[in-house]
Amino acid sequence: MEAVGLTPVLVVSTALFTLGVIGVLTRKNALIVFMSVELMLNGVNLAFVGFSRQTGSMDGHVFAIFVMAVAAAEAAVGLALVILLFRNRLTVQLDDLDRMGG
Amino acid sequence: MTESVLFYLFSLLAVVSGASVILQRSTIASALSLVVCFFALAADYVMLDAHFVAVVQVLVYAGAIMVLFIFVIMLLNIREPGATPVGTLSNRGIIGLMAAALLGVALIAGLDGLVHTPVTAINVDLQGGQPAYGTIAAMGEELFRGNYLLPFEAVSLLLTVSMVGAVVLAKREV
């Protein structure tokens, strides 16, 4: 069985991360920006797993699990913020949220 | 051989559905594309011998996090004000796209040095009673008996804090 090399893993990881950055920078919907952040986190996770396989140690897997846990925490708080935002302003379009304070 | 081919197939699926996430007009379509992307990545993890990470990817990401996303999308029931076609970007959008493309080029350029790194074979077999690479046993060994016990407990605290925080934020009257 031929193993998958490191380079294709990193190329896919880079592609996912860049797609996430594009989403964060160009989309206006807060929820889609959120999903783009998740996409970036997944790109990084793939790189962690790829490097872990290259070095033969489990450390990268542990990091990937931690990233997932932090992503879950971030999603919970972030979506609560989106709900709060929608309740106060009736919009999740980031362009409409240009005032600080109440 | 099969491993490589499947890896490329699922990687292609992951990238295409990832692009679909940021190109879709409707939020729910984006969310469902993201679910496809997560499943494809879980398959990629299996091809990379990361079995436990693959399981957690499906359970936590494609399961828990995406259910949360779709729940919020359905709850808010957002009407896109005149959904903008993908072709028309604002000035800010064009600048953002250029900045992101630049970052992508920089990252790919950074990969250049790694391209010629030889692929080392992974010792998946048992060696001296050590659990096999990528299995739940090896992960548990690493998490509970290795160097990661304190970070593991810290993450559990983080999850508790975020859960309380989410309830406090989204509740109408505290």
List the end-to-end C-alpha distance of chain B, in Å, as a whole number.
Answer: 58
| A52 close to A59: Cβ distance less than 8 angstroms | yes
pLDDT of residue B129: 58
Interface of A with B in 58-87 (CB under 8 A): 58-59, 61-62, 64-66, 68-77, 79-84, 86
The range of the structural domain enclosing residue B68 comes to 1-79
The ipTM assigned to this model is 0.91
Assess if residue B98 is contained within a domain: no
Q: Give CA–CA dist B112/B144, Å, rounded.
A: 37
pLDDT at A91: 82
Count of structural domains within chain B:
2
CB A50 within 8 A of CB B48: yes
Mean pLDDT throughout A36-57?
92
Domain boundary among B79, B96, B118: B79
Mark whether B72 and B6 lie in a shared domain. Answer: yes
How much is the pLDDT for A1?
46
| In a domain? residue B14 | yes
Residue B36 domain-assigned? Answer: yes
The tokens for B9 are 């197939």
Of B65, B172, B13, B26, which is closest to residue A68 (Cα–Cα)?
B65
Q: Tens of pLDDT along B113-156? A: 665 555 555 545 445 556 778 788 888 888 888 889 999 999 99
Residue pLDDT, tens place only, B39-64? 999 999 999 989 899 999 999 999 89
Read off the DSSP letter of residue A100: -
* CA gap B10, B41 in Å, rounded: 7
Residue B103 has pLDDT above 90, yes or no: no
Last residue of a domain, one of B79, B109, B124: B79
Measured distance CA(B58)–CA(B55) in Å, rounded: 5
In a domain, B120, yes or no: no
Fold classified for A6-96: Helix Hairpins (1.10.287)
Interchain contact B135–A (C-beta under 8 A) = no
B69 at interface of A, judged by CB pairs closer than 8 A: yes
| Domain stop point among B79, B108, B140 | B79
